[in-house]
Structure 1
Amino acid sequence: MEFTSISFVFLGSTLGLILRIFIQNNFKIIIGFNIQSTSIVNFIASFFLGIFVALNFTSNPTFLLFYSGFLGCFSTFSSFIYQLFVLFQKRKFMRLFFHYIEVIMISFLFFLFRLLFCSIFLK
């Protein structure tokens, strides 16, 4: 991998990490139930992914910066899996189930919404 490519991944991952930490430390939403900050980050990442897919970023530097770098560090799949594991250990099976459904379904809906919106209005 050449230096320019590494630089794009590094820049994107740095920005993604900074934004993820900021959101996790400063935002919490309660709408009848607690939405964890990790879930909020995953929703936003899915939203951005829908935009990037709809815009069809295929050039190598853009791909490295946004897909591999930014979204790779911004989204928090490992944190999501750890949260599920902790709920499993605590035997909070209903919360585990609803948290899983919440993150997967809402993230998919955010992705789909942005993909469809961009596909319709940007063409």
Structure 2
Amino acid sequence: MKINNFIYVLLAAYLATFLRLFINNNFIISIIGSFMVGFFISKRLSNSIKKILFSGFFSCFTSFSGFIYFLYKIFNQGDWIRFIIFFNLIIIVNLFTMFCGFWISRKIT
């Protein structure tokens, strides 16, 4: 990877982290990120742009740790039914949102 691309990945990660501070809701961030990933997956992008977007921006914006921390708090409360419902709901909603982003991107182009 060229040094310029590495710097762009770092800048994209910084921007994503900065945006994450303004949206202080893991579920909303997850929905927005899933839609955007679905939207950009359908585009023909160069490898360097894919690395910048997916490794830099989206990996920091939709961090998996936010999702896990949310589920961990529910798990610690001992509410198994709520834990299972939220776990499945988050995965299903994010997959559906990603598909919608993919579908809308295909309709636009």
Q: TM-score, normalised by structure 2?
A: 0.90
What is the match of residue 5 of structure 1?
5
Q: Which residue of the partner structure matches residue 21 of structure 1?
A: 21
Q: Give the length in aligned residue pairs.
A: 109
Structure 2 partner of 1:67:
54
For residues 13-52 of structure 1, the aligned pairs below 5 Å read 13-24=13-24, 37-52=25-40
- Indicate if the aligned counterparts of 1:8 and 1:64 stay in contact, CA closer than 8 A: no
Are 2:108 and 1:121 aligned?
A: yes
Q: 1:90 maps to what in 2?
A: 77
The CA RMSD over aligned residues, in Å, is 1.3
Q: Which has the higher helix share?
A: 2
Unpaired stretches in structure 1, ≥5 consecutive residues: 25-36
Contact 1:54 1:115 in 2 (8 A): yes
Q: Which runs of 5+ in 2 are unaligned?
A: none
d(CA) in 1 for partners of 2:11, 2:60:
11
Equivalent of 2:44 in 56, 60, 72: 56
C-alpha separation between the residues in 1 aligned to 2:91 and 2:85?
A: 10
Identity %: 28
Q: Deviations over 1:29-61 (max 9, x none)?
A: xxxxxxxx101101100000011111132x133
